Amino acid sequence: MRRSTRRELEGLTELVVDGVHAAAAEAERAHAAIARYPYAILTRVTPLRAPVRAVEFVQQTITGIVYRTIHVAADVAGAVVATAIAVRARRHEDQE
Amino acid sequence: MTHASDYARRVGVKPRWRGRGISILNGVVGDYLDRRVNGLAIAMAFVQDGRPLAVTAQGLRAAQPALSRKLVILVHGWCCDETVWRFPHEAATYATKLQVDAGYTPFSVRYNTGLPVGQSGQDLARLLRALIAAYPLPIDEIVLIGHSMGGLVIRAACHVGSETGDRWVDAVNRIFYIATPLDGADLARFAHGATLALSVLPNPIARLVGNVLDVRSRGVKDLRTGGSVASDGESGSTALAGLPWLASATHTLLVGTLTGNPHNLVSKTLGDGLVRVPAARDGRLKAPADVTVFPGLHHLQLAHDAAVYAAIRRRCTTKG
B28 CA to chain A: closest CA distance, Å? 12
The mean pLDDT value for B292-316 works out to 95
Q: Would you call A15 and B29 a contact, using CB atoms and an 8 Å cutoff?
A: yes
Residue B151 gets the label, from left (phi > 0), alpha (psi -120 to 50) or beta, of: alpha
Contact B39 A8 (CB under 8 A): yes
Indicate yes or no: CB of B211 within 8 angstroms of CB of A12: no
Kindly state the greatest CA–CA separation across chain B.
64
Residue B95: CA atoms inside 13 Å, Cβ hemisphere, count?
A: 28
Q: Are the CB atoms for B139 and B98 separated by under 8 Å?
A: no
Q: What pTM was estimated for this model as a whole?
A: 0.89
Smallest Cβ distance to A8: which of B40, B204, B211? B40
User: What's the pLDDT band for B8 if we cut at 50, 70, 90?
Assistant: very low
Nearest residue of B to residue A35, measured between CA atoms? B204
- ipTM exceeding cut-off 0.85 for this assembly: no
B18-23, Cβ contacts within 8 angstroms, sequence gap of 24 or more = B18/A8, B19/B50, B19/B81, B19/B83, B20/B81, B20/B83, B22/A8, B22/B81, B23/B79, B23/B80, B23/B81, B23/B110, B23/B113
A10–B contact, CB cutoff 8 A: yes
pLDDT digits 0-9 by tens, B291-303: 899 999 999 999 9
Residues 26-85 (B) with a CB less than 8 A from some CB of A: 29, 32-33, 36, 38-41
Chain segment A44-71, per-residue pLDDT in tens: 999 999 999 999 999 999 999 999 999 9
User: Mind listing the pLDDT tens digit for each residue in B29-44?
Assistant: 999 999 999 999 999 9
Enumerate the residues of chain B whose CB falls inside 8 A of the CB of residue A89.
none
